[in-house]
Amino acid sequence: MLLQLIVSSLVIGSIYALMALAMSITYKASEIPNFAQGEMAMISTFVTFVLLNAFGFSFLPALIVTVIFSFILGVFLEFAFLRRAKNPTPLSYIVITIGFQLMLYGLAGWKWGSDQRQIDLPFSESRVLFQNDSVAITELNLATIIIAVAVLIFIYVLIQKTRLGLAMKACQQNVRAARFNGIPADRILAISFGISSVVGATAGILVAPVITLDPSMMWDPLLKGFAAAVLGGMKSLYGVVIGGFMLGLVENIFGFYISIEFKSVVAFAIIVIVLYFKPSGLFARHYVRKV
Amino acid sequence: MRDLKKDYFEDIQLFSNRVQVFWAILLVALLFSMPFLVKTYYLTVINLMAVNAIVALGLNLLVGNTGQISLGHAGFVAIGAYVTVMLLNHDVPFALALISSGAMAALFGIMLGIPSLKLEGPYLAIATLAFGLAVTIIIGRMDFLGGRMGLTVPKINLSWTGLKYDISLYYLILVLTLVCTIVTRNILKSRIGRSFQAIRDSDIAASAIGVDITKYKLYSFGISALFAGVAGSLWALYLGFINPTLFTFILSINFLAIIVLGGLGFVTGSIMGAVVMTYLNIRLEDVVDIPFVGPALLRFSEAFMMPTGISNISWVLTGLILILVVLFEPLGLYGIWLRIRIYWKKWPF
């Protein structure tokens, strides 16, 4: 039974890790916590759904269109709203992203109603790949873990090995110095938002078959992803991924052995406790601000 | 220069000149004569505005004046509402229940404040958000709190006023709102309020000149939660029925929207925001009935959207308001009002 718990923790943990990574990319680049992340992923998932069902696309073209759409959505948020803020404080960024979240939520509810829909991916939950008396792995489980790991590796390579990643890191450390060296900081920031939106959309598509597709589907994954990011330390890319898997594991073990009802509460309680002892999360270095 | 203040007393007094006293008296007189001027339905609308205003006053003290974000105020409102209902069910008089609601919420506020002292920005946002969600989840699992089914709120004894129940409830809420407004305003003008603002503007500078940051942040959390608790208690009375699904994340966001729209850090702003936002929310519940706009929107949704989902327009509008206010009018409605007033004061120039 423990093995089965670990498998399901890995599956849900990879969703949390993706959401946490999406949160971390934009937070690292701009110190903006993007509350609209979940709703952006939800809209992207709906785009896939519409392409698959109403337009009769097959899965791969639909996926490509979704990736392009979610990239544009992320760039739009940065370009249209966040860049326009005058004399911004951290609070005004939080308010803008919450406003964008409400807008997307309302638009999705207006367009698609609150019916719960079923999305058909080429890998389904009902086909079991491997089974013995202690553990069963379905096609969807395996696909989720593989795709999540692939995206994580892709982001790692993108940030550590490419010129774009170098420019992103430069903007994170010091925007003004980056500008002096000829890096177009605004464009880099918009691209970071686009990339983070694509990562979030992946999480949305992977989680949609498990929880049914409706406008509020991403609330729980968003909050858990946010919590995982905070747990791992928002600014450490390894940290947030480990935080995501840890959160999945703790949640599932607590849910199985102690109480399934308070599963969500314990996740948040752990975060408050961790933050009390390590205010910047487990894996990020805590900087004390100086005058 | 008439605006120049000559001594400390001039800064802390409630009204700076006779004109303000006149308008304030007129407004209070109008509010007190409302039950004899309008139908009972409008009284319930004003009640809702007043309850939202109380929460907004408290939240604004925390967010606007102290600069600490809270996305979990619905949790404090829930605590206030449940404490009141439980006490009323055990035949405790309402005055005591109201005070206990406020005290309990303040206690939770301080308890949440202690781990939040070191946190800022997104870390504080997630901690408060988690608190708000945890409260509703825990209440939903407690059988003696009615679980998910909720509780019916007993009617309180207001017959000593000699008026109808609705009207006496209206007066009760109105008086408490006025008291909360004056209390907030006096807090802001006192040493505590000035410490809050010092912490908001720069906590390092504030501690350098001797403001005890721990103490005043906890004060801010406590007072803010106390107001939310009182509002929750009144909200329970007003609704007559409570269940955990009322106190969602969306409600917390709505409170945040109220103070952002009204103007962060201003008492008048909180009240303006509460009045306008509550009115908008009520009006947009049946958006189709609004002349001209409603039918046009209905035709639009028949063509492109789902007509059944048209009520979702209120989310779109709330989101749009939040974004537009932050981008174009960071001081909110109060900022607009301030600009108009300055324009007329200096008119020919």
- The pLDDT tens digits of the residues spanning A170-188 come to 888 888 888 898 889 889 9
d(CA B133, CA B113): 16
d(CA A251, CA B293): 48
Pairwise pLDDT comparison (A284 vs A247), residue with the higher score: A247
Q: Are B321 and A95 inside 8 Å of each other by CB?
A: no
Task: Supply B329's token pair.
Answer: 């009018």
Query: What pLDDT score was predicted for residue A119?
Result: 81
Phi, psi of B207 (to 5 degrees): -70, -25
A101 touches chain B (CB under 8 A): yes
State the greatest distance between any 2 C-alpha atoms of chain A, in Å, as a whole number: 62
Total CB pairs under 8 A between chain A and B = 149
A 155-214 residues with CB below 8 A of B? none
Task: Supply B39's token pair.
Answer: 């139908």
Tell me the shortest Cα–Cα distance from A18 to chain B, in angstroms.
18
Query: What pLDDT score was predicted for residue B262?
Result: 93
Query: What pLDDT score was predicted for residue A36?
Result: 92
DSSP three-state, residue A231: helix
- The pLDDT tens digits of the residues spanning A5-52 come to 888 899 999 999 999 999 999 888 888 888 999 999 999 999 999 998
pLDDT range class, residue A287, cuts 50, 70, 90: low
A234 touches chain B (CB under 8 A): yes
Give percent of chain A with pLDDT exceeding 70.
98
B330 touches chain A (CB under 8 A): yes
- The pLDDT tens digits of the residues spanning B194-205 come to 999 999 888 889
Long-range contacts at A33-36 (CB < 8 A, ≥ 24 apart) = A33/A93, A33/A94, A33/A97, A33/A226, A33/A234, A33/B121, A33/B122, A33/B125, A34/A77, A34/A97, A34/A193, A34/A196, A35/A94, A35/A97, A35/A98, A35/A100, A35/A101, A35/A222, A36/A77, A36/A97, A36/A98, A36/A100, A36/A101, A36/A104
Q: B75 pLDDT exceeds 90?
A: yes
Closest Cβ opposite residue B312 in set A110, A219, A269: A110
Query: What pLDDT score was predicted for residue B1?
Result: 44
Residue A274: CB atoms within 10 A of its CB come to: 19
Q: A282 pLDDT exceeds 60?
A: yes
Mean pLDDT of A79-106: 89
Residue A150: CB atoms within 10 A of its CB come to: 11
pLDDT range class, residue B2, cuts 50, 70, 90: low
Chain B residue numbers with beta carbons less than 8 Å from the beta carbon of A96 are: 322-323, 326-327
Query: What pLDDT score was predicted for residue A198?
Result: 95
Q: Are A106 and B327 inside 8 Å of each other by CB?
A: no
Q: B35 pLDDT exceeds 90?
A: no
